[in-house]
Amino acid sequence: DVVMTQSPLSLPVTLGQPASISCRSSQSLVYSDGNTYLNWFQQRPGQSPRRLIYKVSNRDSGVPDRFSGSGSGTDFTLKISRVEAEDVGVYYCMQGTHLPRTFGQGTKVEIK
Amino acid sequence: EVRLLESGGGLVQPGGSLRLSCAASGFTFSSYAMSWVRQAPGKGLAWVSSISGIDGGTYYADSVKGRFTISRDNSRNTLFLQMNSLSVEDAAVYYCARHLYGDVEAWGQGTLVTVSS
Protein backbone atom coordinates (compact mmCIF):
# COMPACT_ATOMS: atom_id res chain seq x y z
CA ASP A 1 0.00 0.00 0.00
CA VAL A 2 1.07 3.59 -0.64
CA VAL A 3 1.92 5.30 2.64
CA MET A 4 0.98 8.97 2.90
CA THR A 5 2.99 10.91 5.47
CA GLN A 6 1.85 14.36 6.56
CA SER A 7 3.78 16.95 8.51
CA PRO A 8 3.36 18.58 10.84
CA LEU A 9 0.63 16.67 12.66
CA SER A 10 -0.26 19.74 14.71
CA LEU A 11 -0.13 23.28 13.38
CA PRO A 12 -0.88 26.24 15.66
CA VAL A 13 -1.28 29.35 13.52
CA THR A 14 -1.98 33.04 14.06
CA LEU A 15 -5.06 34.50 12.41
CA GLY A 16 -4.12 36.20 9.18
CA GLN A 17 -0.82 34.36 8.87
CA PRO A 18 0.04 31.72 6.28
CA ALA A 19 0.07 27.98 6.94
CA SER A 20 1.58 25.07 5.05
CA ILE A 21 1.07 21.31 5.30
CA SER A 22 3.34 18.76 3.64
CA CYS A 23 2.25 15.36 2.32
CA ARG A 24 4.71 12.77 1.01
CA SER A 25 3.84 9.49 -0.66
CA SER A 26 5.90 6.31 -0.61
CA GLN A 27 5.45 5.91 -4.39
CA SER A 28 4.93 8.24 -7.29
CA LEU A 29 1.31 9.29 -7.66
CA VAL A 30 1.48 9.82 -11.42
CA TYR A 31 -1.16 7.58 -13.01
CA SER A 32 -0.92 5.94 -16.43
CA ASP A 33 -3.27 8.61 -17.86
CA GLY A 34 -0.76 11.31 -16.91
CA ASN A 35 -2.83 12.68 -14.05
CA THR A 36 -1.73 12.80 -10.41
CA TYR A 37 -4.63 11.90 -8.13
CA LEU A 38 -3.68 13.76 -4.97
CA ASN A 39 -6.53 15.30 -2.99
CA TRP A 40 -6.78 17.48 0.10
CA PHE A 41 -9.71 17.36 2.53
CA GLN A 42 -10.77 19.58 5.41
CA GLN A 43 -12.72 18.20 8.36
CA ARG A 44 -14.04 20.86 10.70
CA PRO A 45 -14.91 19.79 14.25
CA GLY A 46 -18.07 17.68 14.28
CA GLN A 47 -18.48 17.78 10.51
CA SER A 48 -18.01 15.46 7.55
CA PRO A 49 -14.89 15.89 5.44
CA ARG A 50 -14.98 18.32 2.55
CA ARG A 51 -12.69 18.14 -0.43
CA LEU A 52 -10.69 21.31 -1.07
CA ILE A 53 -8.24 20.30 -3.79
CA TYR A 54 -8.17 17.56 -6.45
CA LYS A 55 -5.42 16.47 -8.84
CA VAL A 56 -2.76 18.32 -6.82
CA SER A 57 -3.77 21.90 -7.49
CA ASN A 58 -7.40 22.24 -8.60
CA ARG A 59 -9.77 23.90 -6.14
CA ASP A 60 -13.23 22.42 -5.78
CA SER A 61 -16.24 24.65 -6.32
CA GLY A 62 -16.80 27.11 -3.49
CA VAL A 63 -13.35 26.69 -1.96
CA PRO A 64 -11.80 30.06 -1.07
CA ASP A 65 -8.79 31.04 -3.13
CA ARG A 66 -6.65 31.34 -0.01
CA PHE A 67 -6.31 27.54 -0.30
CA SER A 68 -3.80 26.28 -2.85
CA GLY A 69 -2.18 22.96 -3.63
CA SER A 70 1.11 22.22 -5.31
CA GLY A 71 3.64 19.48 -5.83
CA SER A 72 4.49 16.56 -8.06
CA GLY A 73 5.55 12.94 -7.97
CA THR A 74 5.77 12.13 -4.27
CA ASP A 75 5.92 15.53 -2.62
CA PHE A 76 2.88 17.76 -2.15
CA THR A 77 1.88 20.85 -0.20
CA LEU A 78 -1.35 22.52 0.89
CA LYS A 79 -1.04 26.23 1.64
CA ILE A 80 -3.44 28.62 3.31
CA SER A 81 -2.39 32.15 2.44
CA ARG A 82 -4.09 33.84 5.40
CA VAL A 83 -5.66 31.65 8.05
CA GLU A 84 -9.17 32.49 9.15
CA ALA A 85 -11.04 31.23 12.21
CA GLU A 86 -13.22 28.95 10.05
CA ASP A 87 -10.13 27.07 8.85
CA VAL A 88 -9.74 25.30 12.20
CA GLY A 89 -9.96 21.55 11.79
CA VAL A 90 -8.06 18.51 10.55
CA TYR A 91 -6.63 18.38 7.04
CA TYR A 92 -5.99 15.12 5.20
CA CYS A 93 -4.21 14.32 1.98
CA MET A 94 -5.41 11.28 0.05
CA GLN A 95 -4.04 9.50 -3.00
CA GLY A 96 -6.38 8.00 -5.57
CA THR A 97 -3.75 6.78 -8.03
CA HIS A 98 -3.13 3.37 -6.50
CA LEU A 99 -5.52 0.89 -4.90
CA PRO A 100 -6.17 0.87 -2.05
CA ARG A 101 -6.77 4.58 -1.75
CA THR A 102 -4.85 5.83 1.27
CA PHE A 103 -5.02 8.89 3.50
CA GLY A 104 -2.41 10.77 5.46
CA GLN A 105 -2.65 10.77 9.26
CA GLY A 106 -4.19 14.23 9.34
CA THR A 107 -2.87 17.63 10.41
CA LYS A 108 -4.75 19.48 13.12
CA VAL A 109 -4.86 23.23 12.49
CA GLU A 110 -5.67 25.38 15.48
CA ILE A 111 -5.49 29.07 16.27
CA LYS A 112 -2.74 30.24 18.61
CA GLU B 1 -27.58 20.39 -4.57
CA VAL B 2 -25.82 17.08 -4.03
CA ARG B 3 -27.24 15.20 -1.04
CA LEU B 4 -26.05 11.91 0.40
CA LEU B 5 -27.96 10.46 3.33
CA GLU B 6 -26.57 7.38 5.05
CA SER B 7 -28.63 5.06 7.24
CA GLY B 8 -28.51 1.58 8.72
CA GLY B 9 -25.85 2.05 11.38
CA GLY B 10 -26.32 0.85 14.93
CA LEU B 11 -25.12 -1.53 17.62
CA VAL B 12 -24.19 -5.05 16.56
CA GLN B 13 -22.44 -7.91 18.32
CA PRO B 14 -19.08 -9.21 17.11
CA GLY B 15 -19.69 -11.63 14.26
CA GLY B 16 -22.94 -9.92 13.33
CA SER B 17 -24.07 -8.20 10.15
CA LEU B 18 -25.38 -4.79 9.11
CA ARG B 19 -26.48 -3.28 5.82
CA LEU B 20 -25.77 0.39 5.28
CA SER B 21 -27.67 2.48 2.75
CA CYS B 22 -26.90 5.82 1.17
CA ALA B 23 -29.74 7.69 -0.53
CA ALA B 24 -28.45 10.07 -3.19
CA SER B 25 -30.19 13.08 -4.70
CA GLY B 26 -29.38 16.21 -6.66
CA PHE B 27 -27.35 14.49 -9.39
CA THR B 28 -27.57 11.66 -11.93
CA PHE B 29 -26.58 8.86 -9.57
CA SER B 30 -25.90 6.22 -12.21
CA SER B 31 -23.23 8.38 -13.85
CA TYR B 32 -20.95 8.56 -10.82
CA ALA B 33 -18.60 6.22 -9.04
CA MET B 34 -19.25 6.00 -5.31
CA SER B 35 -17.24 5.01 -2.26
CA TRP B 36 -17.53 4.17 1.41
CA VAL B 37 -14.97 5.69 3.76
CA ARG B 38 -14.87 5.10 7.51
CA GLN B 39 -13.52 6.90 10.54
CA ALA B 40 -13.01 5.12 13.85
CA PRO B 41 -13.74 7.28 16.92
CA GLY B 42 -11.01 9.88 17.31
CA LYS B 43 -9.05 8.48 14.38
CA GLY B 44 -8.32 9.37 10.78
CA LEU B 45 -10.04 8.46 7.55
CA ALA B 46 -9.81 5.03 5.91
CA TRP B 47 -11.10 4.04 2.48
CA VAL B 48 -13.32 0.95 2.56
CA SER B 49 -14.74 0.27 -0.89
CA SER B 50 -15.66 1.82 -4.24
CA ILE B 51 -18.02 0.97 -7.08
CA SER B 52 -17.87 2.26 -10.63
CA GLY B 53 -20.80 4.13 -12.08
CA ILE B 54 -20.27 2.78 -15.57
CA ASP B 55 -19.67 -0.96 -15.32
CA GLY B 56 -20.34 -1.55 -11.64
CA GLY B 57 -16.79 -2.69 -11.00
CA THR B 58 -16.05 -3.03 -7.28
CA TYR B 59 -12.93 -2.50 -5.19
CA TYR B 60 -12.21 -3.25 -1.54
CA ALA B 61 -9.66 -2.57 1.17
CA ASP B 62 -7.88 -5.76 2.21
CA SER B 63 -9.26 -5.37 5.73
CA VAL B 64 -12.84 -5.87 4.52
CA LYS B 65 -12.41 -8.06 1.43
CA GLY B 66 -14.55 -11.16 1.66
CA ARG B 67 -16.69 -9.71 4.46
CA PHE B 68 -18.13 -6.52 2.96
CA THR B 69 -20.03 -6.13 -0.30
CA ILE B 70 -20.68 -2.81 -2.01
CA SER B 71 -23.59 -2.52 -4.42
CA ARG B 72 -25.87 0.06 -5.98
CA ASP B 73 -29.44 0.30 -7.21
CA ASN B 74 -29.44 2.99 -9.87
CA SER B 75 -33.25 2.85 -10.17
CA ARG B 76 -33.52 3.86 -6.51
CA ASN B 77 -30.47 6.17 -6.45
CA THR B 78 -29.12 4.19 -3.54
CA LEU B 79 -25.71 2.85 -2.56
CA PHE B 80 -25.34 -0.09 -0.18
CA LEU B 81 -22.68 -1.70 1.99
CA GLN B 82 -23.42 -5.19 3.29
CA MET B 83 -21.14 -5.85 6.25
CA ASN B 84 -20.75 -9.41 7.59
CA SER B 85 -18.55 -10.96 10.28
CA LEU B 86 -18.14 -7.61 11.99
CA SER B 87 -15.37 -7.13 14.53
CA VAL B 88 -14.58 -4.38 17.00
CA GLU B 89 -12.06 -3.04 14.49
CA ASP B 90 -14.96 -2.23 12.15
CA ALA B 91 -16.55 0.21 14.60
CA ALA B 92 -16.58 3.63 12.97
CA VAL B 93 -18.61 6.34 11.34
CA TYR B 94 -19.22 5.21 7.77
CA TYR B 95 -19.46 7.90 5.11
CA CYS B 96 -20.67 7.46 1.58
CA ALA B 97 -19.06 9.73 -0.96
CA ARG B 98 -19.52 10.63 -4.60
CA HIS B 99 -16.61 10.78 -7.00
CA LEU B 100 -15.84 13.79 -9.17
CA TYR B 101 -12.76 14.48 -11.29
CA GLY B 102 -11.32 11.10 -10.42
CA ASP B 103 -11.91 10.80 -6.70
CA VAL B 104 -14.17 11.22 -3.67
CA GLU B 105 -15.63 14.69 -3.54
CA ALA B 106 -19.05 15.05 -1.84
CA TRP B 107 -19.64 13.29 1.48
CA GLY B 108 -22.71 12.38 3.47
CA GLN B 109 -23.11 13.07 7.18
CA GLY B 110 -22.15 9.51 8.13
CA THR B 111 -23.76 6.67 10.05
CA LEU B 112 -22.25 5.21 13.23
CA VAL B 113 -21.55 1.50 13.51
CA THR B 114 -20.82 0.19 17.00
CA VAL B 115 -19.56 -3.35 17.47
CA SER B 116 -19.79 -4.58 21.02
CA SER B 117 -21.04 -7.51 23.06
pLDDT at B55: 84
Chain segment A70-112, per-residue pLDDT in tens: 999 999 999 999 999 999 999 999 999 999 999 999 999 999 9
User: Cβ(B99)–Cβ(B107) under 8 Å?
Assistant: no
From the list B95, B104, B108, which residue is nearest A51 (CB)?
B104
Report the mean per-residue pLDDT for chain B.
Answer: 96
The answer to whether B101 contacts chain A (CB < 8 Å) is yes
Mutate to test the interface with A, among B36, B47, B49 (most CBs of A within 10 A): B47
Chain segment A49-79, per-residue pLDDT in tens: 999 999 999 999 999 999 999 999 999 999 9
Chain segment B58-94, per-residue pLDDT in tens: 999 999 999 999 999 999 999 999 999 999 999 999 9
Q: Which of B3-7, B52-56, B80-84 has the lowest mean pLDDT?
A: B52-56
User: Cβ(B8)–Cβ(B95) under 8 Å?
Assistant: no
The answer to whether A92 contacts chain B (CB < 8 Å) is yes
The answer to whether B41 contacts chain A (CB < 8 Å) is no
Q: CA dihedral in degrees (A79, A82, A87, A92; nearest 10)?
A: 10
User: Cβ(A75)–Cβ(A24) under 8 Å?
Assistant: yes
Sign of CA dihedral A8, A47, A2, A105: positive
Measured in angstroms, the CA of A75 and the nearest CA of chain B are apart by 19
The answer to whether A59 contacts chain B (CB < 8 Å) is no
d(CA B104, CA B91): 21
Chain segment A14-54, per-residue pLDDT in tens: 999 999 999 999 999 999 999 999 999 999 999 999 999 99
Which chain B residue is nearest to residue A60, measuring alpha carbons? B105
